[in-house]
Amino acid sequence: MVRIAVIGIGGWGKNHVRVLNELDALAALCDANRERMQLYSKKYRVPGYESVDSLLKKEELDGVTICTPASTHFAIASKVLGEGLNTFVEKPMTTTSSDGESLIEMARKARKILTVGFIERFNPSISDLKKMFAEGRLGAPILLEFHRENRRGDVLDVGIVKDASVHDIDTARWLFGEEPRVVFARVGNVKSDNEDFAAIMMGFSEQRTAFITTNWVTPARVRTLEAVFENGVVNIDFVSQQTQVHEEDGTRMPRLVVQEPLMLELKEYLTAIEEKRQPLVRGEDGLMVTRIAEAVLASSRSGTPIFMKQ
Ligand SMILES: NC(=O)c1ccc[n+]([C@@H]2O[C@H](COP(=O)([O-])OP(=O)(O)OC[C@H]3O[C@@H](n4cnc5c(N)ncnc54)[C@H](O)[C@@H]3O)[C@@H](O)[C@H]2O)c1
């Protein structure tokens, strides 16, 4: 049995706790908020800790998942990797690319897994689309257009680019199977001190392009992707996991079993630990996405495209 502790049991971490418990891998949990820690420790009958230091000192673990706010990821992941444990960090892996480089080096030295919560790769509709890219039935891919929109009242420690757009930045580079050559973006803020809307254009080889629009302003939850190919268009709703494929001879909706992406994502983490192999999402993906997010913000400040180092 793989023994995992969840660090940070807030809005999202409580889902990690539930799923890891279902997978029989939940060994302990940790949250700086004592009440929350005690609540979940009691609910799942596992030891709870208020500090990462006491968790790491007392428990024999194979790994952790880190579900604390973005600005704490680097310090906590450094401690965990320093103890030689496998490490799953929620997105964004780090808030700066230099911190990302340091984590990758620590994981390499410890010979442990460093992975990042780019959950959309485990969304069955995106896995299906990835297969369509490989099969080539729809012809060459041309454009990806992402919409990720909902109203958000609370204040986060990072803006929308590093919090939400990172999902679509990773999905675009994963689907196209390469890194963007150029990034151009405009961001702004309506309701928050950090940017709360972003329009991002990423240019890949052979004119392939991804558009990402993200905002915390729209009073409706929208999470969609349109993928345009030479011979067809695919529309995906990330929430319902519905996929529509439009071709010249009509529209089809591939039959799809709805599955919880977090369950698939954490299963992959546990299996990679058991098999002592690299997971689908690597620390290098987390680093690259943070680099692109930095280019997005730089482009928005300068009003110019940013050409990425190849
Ligand atoms: N993959 C996804 O779809 C998804 C969805 C939501 C959030 N997230 C990510 O999950 C992470 C957490 O987001 P959230 O919405 O749950 O935040 P949250 O604020 O609701 O919860 C964070 C929790 O971490 C605890 N915490 C903070 N610092 C700590 C420390 N040093 N040690 C121990 N506990 C500490 C807080 O007490 C709180 O309970 C973020 O990185 C976010 O981007 C991912």
For atom 4 of ligand 1, the residue with the nearest CA is 12
Q: By alpha-carbon position, which residue is closest to atom 32 of ligand 1?
A: 32
Q: What separation in Å is there between the alpha carbon of 17 and the centre of ligand 1?
A: 12
Neighbours of 85 (CB within 10 A): 22
The response to whether residue 205 sits with its C-beta less than 6 Å from ligand 1 reads no
What is the spatial distance between Cα 126 and Cα 256, in angstroms, rounded to a whole number?
11
Distance 73 CA to ligand 1 centre (A): 9
- The structure tokens listed for 189 are 């803020």
Q: Give the tens place of pLDDT for each residue, 75-107.
A: 999 999 999 999 999 999 999 999 999 999 999
Q: Which atom of ligand 1 is nearest to the CA of 13?
A: 16
Long-range contact set of residues 202-209: C-beta below 8 Å, sequence gap at least 24:
202/169, 202/172, 202/173, 202/292, 203/305, 204/172, 204/176, 204/178, 204/179, 204/180, 205/178, 205/181, 206/140, 207/142, 208/141, 208/142, 208/143, 208/176, 209/142, 209/143, 209/144
Q: Enumerate the domain spans of the chain.
A: 4-119+263-281, 120-258+291-307
Q: What is the pLDDT of residues 121-153, one digit of tens each?
A: 999 999 999 999 999 999 999 999 999 999 987
**Locate tokens 């729809």: which residue?**
138
- DSSP 8-state secondary structure symbol assigned to residue 255: -
Average pLDDT over residues 298-304: 98
Is the pLDDT score of 6 beyond 80?
Answer: yes
Strands (E), the chain: 4-7, 26-30, 48-49, 63-66, 86-89, 114-116, 141-149, 182-188, 197-203, 209-215, 222-229, 232-237, 242-247, 250-252, 306-307
Q: Is the CB–ligand 1 distance for residue 8 below 6 Å?
A: yes
Whether the CB of 10 sits within 6 Å of ligand 1:
yes
Handedness of CA 71, 91, 55, 19 (dihedral sign): positive
- Quick check: 155 pLDDT over 90? no
Given this model, what pLDDT does residue 29 score? Answer: 98
Asked if residue 239 has its Cβ within 6 Å of ligand 1, the reply is: no
pLDDT at 163: 97
- In this prediction, residues 254-273 reach a mean pLDDT of 94
23-50 mean pLDDT: 98
Q: Is 25 helix (H, G, I), strand (E, B) or coil?
A: coil
* pLDDT at res. 153: 75
Q: Which residue has the tokens 């808030």?
A: 95
The rounded Å distance from CA 301 to ligand 1 centre is: 28
Q: Categorize the per-residue pLDDT at 310 as very low, low, confident or very high, splitting at 50, 70 and 90.
A: confident
The CATH topology of domain 120-258+291-307 is: Dihydrodipicolinate Reductase; domain 2 (3.30.360)
CATH of domain 4-119+263-281: 3.40.50.720
CB 19 less than 6 A from any atom of ligand 1? no
Query: Do residues 5 and 83 touch, judged by C-beta distance below 8 A?
Result: no
Supply the pLDDT for residue 204: 98
Q: Is the CB of 32 under 6 A from ligand 1?
A: yes
pLDDT tens digits, 171-193: 999 999 999 999 999 999 998 88
Nearest to 310 by CA among 211, 199, 183: 183
